[in-house]
Amino acid sequence: MTPTTSLSLADLPVATLMQQARCDIARYLADRQPNEDPHTFELFRRAIVESDQDAWTALYDLYQFLVRNWIANRLAGDVSADVCEALTNDAFVKFFRAVDAKRFEGFDSILGLLAYLRMCARSVAADYRRSQHTHQAEEPAEYLDHEVVLADPAEEVMAHLFASEIWEVIGTNINEQERLVLQVTCVLGWPARTLQRLSPAQFPTVDDIYRIKRNVLERLRRNRRLQALCFTQK
């Protein structure tokens, strides 16, 4: 592994950042614990703030399979590999158009950026499904080039979940087990059964995960300070 202690993140080449990011991701998957992942965050910063094409490419390489999985799950697997690849590209384009340098200032963690990327993937999948079933009456499209529109109050919380001020509020109202459930199921989009299989000691059954997620989101929705912060960011 390339040492990074002698240089600041801003001084590291993209290739080194990507290598370290892969290590951070692997450590997250192995430990199943919250991971700040500063190297990936620096890649996002360079890509968005500095329009660094190499950083864009690195991010695509790191997360294309995750985005593809989000889309395939949203479409219940009823899509060809070529279409799924095209939709994955569309999701990244939608994200890059929506998050400019100014909006990037509102994120202070990789988890917030992944949450937004996941919403872009969900929007692209929803647009595709509408295009295949134009005869059915469906909800209006989400135009993420301008703003994310969420109808579900639980997803309204998740849309703003990892903004700095809001995360401070959330952090005082949830424990580490609840934090892990939110990160894995809501941000990374993993099925509850995957988390249960990875951590059976913490979550003996899948129903335990659903119960924790439901309870914590209900509790967060009732938090008055959190409601006020979410409202002011719309």
Predicted pLDDT of residue 11? 83
Which pLDDT belongs to residue 150? 36
| Tens-digit pLDDT profile for residues 81-109 | 888 889 999 999 999 988 999 989 888 87
- Own/partner contacts of 88-95, CB < 8 Å, gap of 24 or more, are 88/64, 88/121, 90/124, 91/67, 91/117, 91/120, 91/121, 91/123, 91/124, 92/59, 92/60, 92/64, 92/67, 92/117, 92/120, 94/120, 94/123, 94/124, 94/144, 94/145, 95/120, 95/144
For residue 77, what pLDDT is reported? Answer: 62
Q: What is the pTM of this model?
A: 0.61
Residue 29's pLDDT is what? 53
Looking at residue 31, what is its pLDDT? 55
Taking the chain (234 residues) in runs of 10, the rounded mean pLDDT of each run is 57 88 68 67 94 93 84 78 89 91 86 85 88 58 40 41 54 80 72 82 91 86 68 45
81 exposure class (CB count in 10 Å sphere: 0-12, 13-18, 19+): exposed
Taking a C-beta distance cutoff of 8 angstroms, is the pair 165, 229 a contact? yes
Written as one string, the DSSP assignment of 135-187 is: TS--PPP--TTT-----SHHHHHHHTTTBHHHHHHHHTT--HHHHHHIIIIII
pLDDT of residue 163: 45
Query: Which structure tokens are listed for 72?
Result: 């395939």
- What is d(CA 219, CA 217) in angstroms, rounded to the nearest whole number? 5
